[in-house]
Amino acid sequence: MELDHIFNKLWNDYASLNPSVKRIKALFEQENETILNDHIAFRTFDHPLMNLAVLSALFIKHGYREIQDYHFEEKHLYAKHYEHKDIPNAPRVFISELKLKEMSKQLQQLVNDFIKPVPSKTFASEELLFSGRVWELPSFEVYNTLRNESEYAAWLYVFGFRANHFTVSINDLKTLNSVEKVNAFLKLKGFLINDSGGEIKGSPAELLEQSSIKSETIKVDFKEGIFDIPGCYYEFAKRYPDTDGKLYSGFIAKSADKIFESTDFYSKED
Ligand code: NI
pLDDT tens-digit map of 110-120: 999 999 999 99
Determine the distance separating the centroid of ligand 1 and the alpha carbon of 168, expressed in angstroms.
Answer: 10
Determine the distance separating the centroid of ligand 1 and the alpha carbon of 237, expressed in angstroms.
Answer: 8
Q: What is the pLDDT of residue 22?
A: 96
Range of the domain at 96: 3-263
Report if residue 269 sits inside a domain.
no
192 half-sphere exposure, CB direction, 13 A CA radius: 17
Q: What is the pLDDT of residue 255?
A: 82
Mean pLDDT within 6-20: 96
Q: What is the pLDDT of residue 258?
A: 86
Total structural domains in the chain? 1
Contacts of 29 (CB under 8 A, 6+ apart): 35
Q: What is the pLDDT of residue 259?
A: 87
Report if residue 270 sits inside a domain.
no
Each residue of 47-99: pLDDT tens digit? 999 999 999 999 999 999 999 999 999 999 999 999 999 998 899 999 999 99
Report if residue 268 sits inside a domain.
no
Contacts of 45 (CB under 8 A, 6+ apart): 51, 97, 98, 100, 111, 115, 153, 156
Determine the distance separating the centroid of ligand 1 and the alpha carbon of 6, expressed in angstroms.
Answer: 18
The pLDDT mean for the chain works out to 95
Each residue of 169-222: pLDDT tens digit? 999 999 999 999 999 999 999 999 999 889 999 999 999 999 999 999 999 999
Mean pLDDT within 223-249: 95
- pLDDT exceeds 80 at position 269: no
Determine the distance separating the centroid of ligand 1 and the alpha carbon of 233, expressed in angstroms.
Answer: 10
Mean pLDDT within 114-142: 97
- pLDDT exceeds 50 at position 270: no
Domain with residue 166: its CATH number is: 3.10.180.50
Q: What is the pLDDT of residue 8?
A: 96
